Amino acid sequence: MLLTGSNNTSLAGVRFGLLQTKVGLISLLSSYDVRVSEKTPIPLVFDPRAFILAPKGEIYLKITERSDRR
């Protein structure tokens, strides 16, 4: 898929999908508190063989409902 605008329908679809992703993240982050768990190694060690920046091992998160919701 080319994102150069050569096909306007695919470009509009990609932009709409990105907008939906952003709205979903905002909705989740406004309702929940996300913190790093004790099981996550700190400092993170990154995998030098990965194509994109990625940690070696797992990242564990604690997700709790926010108490200060209006």
Residue 3: is its pLDDT beyond 60?
no
User: What mean pLDDT value characterizes the chain?
Assistant: 86
In angstroms, the CA 14 to CA 1 distance is: 10
For residue range 44-55, what is the model confidence (pLDDT) as tens digits? 999 999 999 999
User: What integer is the mean pLDDT of 27-55?
Assistant: 92
How many Cα atoms are found within 13 Å in the side-chain-facing hemisphere of 13? 7
Q: Which of 38, 22, 21, 32 is nearest to 66 (CA)?
A: 32
Instruction: Output the pLDDT for position 68.
Output: 76
Task: Please indicate, yes or no, whether the overall pTM of this predicted structure exceeds 0.75.
Answer: no
